[in-house]
Amino acid sequence: MRIDLEIRKELRSGPRVFRLDVRLATQGQRVVIFGPSGSGKSLTLKAIAGLMRPDEGHVRLDGTTVFDSGAGVNLPPQARRVAYLFQDYALFPHLTVRQNVGFVLARGWLNPRSGEIHEAVDYWLAAFNLQDVAHQFPVELSGGQRQRTALARALVARPRALLLDEPFAALDPALRQRMRVELDELQTRLGVPMIIITHDPEDVAAFGEQVLCMNEGQVVPQAQGLLSVGLAA
């Protein structure tokens, strides 16, 4: 996936001012944006997804302009065809696993017929080994099952790319390592490009085909980015 991005955003909280000023151009199946908390990683990912409107700049995905402040272009998230996996997974607590996975289709983003919805949901439940918990609610699931449910829901709409916001941060160390292996195998099998933001160098080692480092709202040289999280270059 090709990403051409140049965005600026100013955020104020009382006397504090945070300025996001990001320029990047990258192409690859696995891109990791690495940096400490508060560096602007999530804001950048949300700008790509259409969940945050920059003050100015542009965002182009595979040559398609999805945001351009000068031209007045700002496509809504569903029109960008990217799937965003939130750090807390954002599952609907009142829906079962099956209903969560099928929610996007039932809402009509792709407007399939009822039979096609069931077929697509069954496929992704099987792909993530969720058939046995399909009728359970999120509160009844383990951390790994919740993450797999969120991934299945993200992929059922056939996105052009998967955007993951600190996907392993909420998991214990053993489960975190297992889910890295699962995501690695899944991405290799499906060939869906993904962008991961993280502050964990182990995620960089696992998925860093291309690595962009951020600090204080800007993309910085990799050595500087490593130092910003207390690692020797």
Question: What's the mean pLDDT in 151-174?
Answer: 88
Cα distance between residue 84 and residue 151, in whole Å: 9
What pLDDT score does 204 carry?
94
* 141 Cβ contact list (under 8 Å, min separation 6): 97, 133, 149
Cα distance between residue 54 and residue 58, in whole Å: 8
What pLDDT score does 54 carry?
98
Question: What's the mean pLDDT in 52-76?
Answer: 97
Select the more confidently predicted residue: 46 or 232: 46
What pLDDT score does 107 carry?
57
* Three-state secondary-structure class, residue 218: strand
What pLDDT score does 82 carry?
94
User: What's phi and psi for 92, nearest 5 deg?
Assistant: -80, 115
pLDDT band at 224 (very low <50, low <70, confident <90, very high): low
pLDDT band at 89 (very low <50, low <70, confident <90, very high): confident
Comparing 17-31, 110-124, 177-191, the range with the smallest average pLDDT is: 110-124
What pLDDT score does 178 carry?
85
Percent of the chain residues topping a pLDDT of 90: 57
Question: What's the mean pLDDT in 204-215?
Answer: 93
Cα distance between residue 92 and residue 140, in whole Å: 13
Range from 31-40, 79-88, 147-156 that averages highest in pLDDT: 31-40
> What is the value of pTM for the model shown?
0.85
What pLDDT score does 155 carry?
87
Computed over every residue of the chain, the mean pLDDT equals 88
Question: What's the mean pLDDT in 6-30?
Answer: 94
Cα distance between residue 52 and residue 203, in whole Å: 25
